[in-house]
Structures are given as structure tokens and as C-alpha cells.
Amino acid sequence: MNRQAVIDILRKIFTFYGYEVTSSDGCDLFAGKESEHLFIKFDPIPNFNSIRHFSGIVQRYGGKGILISDLFDEKIRATALDDGLLLWDRSEIESRIGRAVLAGAFGQYGSEKAEIRGSEIQQTFQMQREPKKEYEKTIRIFLRSVTVNIGKSDALSIAEAKVGAVKSQKLKFIPVWFYRYSFNTQKKFKSRMVDLKGEGEGYVNAITGENYFGKCKDIQDNTFVPTQNYEIKQPVVDKKDALNKAVDAIIREHTKEVRLNEMIGDTIIFEQKVFEPEPVDITMETELIHFPIWELSGGRETIEINGYDGHILGVKVSNDAEFV
């Protein structure tokens, strides 16, 4: 479907039915009428993260969310319905546009405007819910973390290929000190000024104290977890120690060796000099967030999988493994 064409048609249809239609951040259209508020979003390739982001906007402001796409697979459909969103695929949108045309939304049947009753509006736009399927039950917890993009079934599929049949699984939330940093300074060496500047993101594992450079997107204030077999780990490394580790790593990362030359009489003198930012030069923003980690145990080995991007973090021999 052509996104802009669909949005333009929906704008006309909702306006015809008496809604005040505007553009809005986080969705393509906002349609309001009395106490009814509709958030409408066209997403050509919906995914777990985009659905949770959209449903979060709808829940924050109150109303109903309509998600439009060519096709929804079973997992995406389950996630969206669980979040209370209405789903319109290609056949659904074509059907609703057809009904609106017959109702006279585009004026094909004369200039006289039809009187539209509230019951007719509800009949036209009421979502026909599909039979509810059985999916794993989840609960929402308030925890500052990146989104859980890898569900239990996906984690099981990854694990079974590495450790065989899975006997147990747990979703752990590992605390990390996430930071953003920047610096812009100059260092003087004899008669020369050397510019030093940099910026980036990283995090310090609040349990092991290890530092990593990398961006963290999709940080949310709450997330969905299984109703059982999940654990929120408590930080061992405090904020001060984490900042010290981060600053040391940033300085090492941005230390550079510069070759300088200076004319003394008729002679050119070359000299190598190492420059690095000082801790006072670095501006940092820090917060405690959590990473979702799936821990799945097979007969002999246990595997850990990053619940955000699906990367395998490691495979180790299980403590209760039996050796023959």
C-alpha cells in the first residue's frame, strides 16, 4: 500500500464522519470527536519495538490505536492485540474504504450530504476482533530497560541449536550504568595547539564492572516479562566507581599520538607527543538501565542470549551437568 495515499484517504473519511483530524507526533493521524480519540499509524514493516512504542503513546494520552500495514504475522498480531491496538491490514483497509465510499464520503452519489448517525459510524469503524489465541502470559513491570525484542520462543530456538533440548529458562535483567559523553578541548605543546574532541555512548556492567562502548536505543520506563521465571539483578558496582571506569576507558579510547615538527635555525626537529583528554574535560550523563538476558539450560550446557538483539553472550558447562 502507498502510505501517503492511505493516510490522505483516511483523513477524508474521518473528517466526513465528523472527526477533527490533525497530524501528531508518534502517529500519522490523530482523530478526535467528543470523548473519542483515535491514534492512527501506518507502519509498512511493524516489529516488536515499533508496536510497543506506538502502544505506549496511546496509553500515555488515552484513546484507541489503529495500526495499519499490508500484513501482520502471528507474533506481531499477538503483541499488538495484547497491547490493545486495532489492526487494519490491506483487506481490512480496502473494505473500510469501500464502505465509506458507499456511505458518500467522497461524494460520488450526489452533492447532498448524507446524515450520518452515531450507530453507523460505530458500525463502519468498529474493529472486528479475531478469535483469541493462547499466547504466553506476560505482565508489565516498571523497570528502566531496553526492550525485550527476543521472545521466549525465539530464545528457545536459538538455544536448542547450541545446547540441545532446553530443560529450564529464565529472563534476567542485568543492571548497567549507561552513559553519554563529550569533550572539546585544546592541549598546548610548545608553540602548537592540538585539538582534542570526541563524543559517544557506552555502559559499565553494574555487576562485573566491565566497560563497553556502544549505543543503547529503545530505552523504556516499563517492559513486558513472563509471569514467572524472571529475575532483576541488583547492581554491585555503584555509580561513582562506574564513572571512574568509564572515564578511564574514554581517555584510553581517545588518546592519540601526534607527530609535531618545529624549525630550529636551519634544522627541522620532529617529535612524537601523546595527547589525551583530562577527566575534567569530559562531560557525562549517566543513568542506571537494564539489559534483558535469556539464560537457558540444556542437558550439559547453559547459554546466555541477549534479549535485545539476539546475540549469544556465552555458553558454559552447567553446574549440575553429569559427566560419564
Last residue of a domain, one of 118, 134, 150: 134
Look at residue 129 in the predicted model and tell me its pLDDT: 41
The DSSP element (H or E) to which 64 belongs, if any, is: strand 64-68
- 56 lies in which domain range? 3-134
> How far is it, in rounded angstroms, from Cα 292 to Cα 308?
6
Count of domains for the chain: 2
Last residue of a domain, one of 115, 134, 153: 134
The answer to whether residues 89 and 167 belong to one domain is no
pTM: 0.56
Let me know: does 295 contact 316? Beta carbons within 8 Å.
no
> How far is it, in rounded angstroms, from Cα 81 to Cα 64?
12
The answer to whether residues 294 and 183 belong to one domain is yes
| Residue 220, helix vs strand vs coil | strand
The answer to whether residues 157 and 288 belong to one domain is yes
The answer to whether residues 34 and 96 belong to one domain is yes
Which residues in the chain show pLDDT less than 70? 99-137, 227, 263, 318-324
The answer to whether residues 109 and 195 belong to one domain is no
Look at residue 37 in the predicted model and tell me its pLDDT: 85
The answer to whether residues 112 and 163 belong to one domain is no
> How many CB atoms lie under 10 A from the CB of residue 57?
16
The answer to whether residues 93 and 70 belong to one domain is yes
What's the pLDDT tens digit per position in 144-181? 999 888 888 888 888 888 888 899 999 999 999 999 99
Residue 323 is assigned to a structural domain of this protein:
no
Last residue of a domain, one of 134, 169, 186: 134
Residue 305: what are its φ and ψ, rounded to 5°? -125, 130
Listed as own residue / partner, the contacts of 299-303 with beta carbons closer than 8 Å and 24 or more positions apart are 299/163, 299/164, 299/165, 299/167, 300/163, 301/162, 301/163, 302/163, 303/158, 303/159, 303/162, 303/163
Look at residue 48 in the predicted model and tell me its pLDDT: 83
Look at residue 324 in the predicted model and tell me its pLDDT: 35
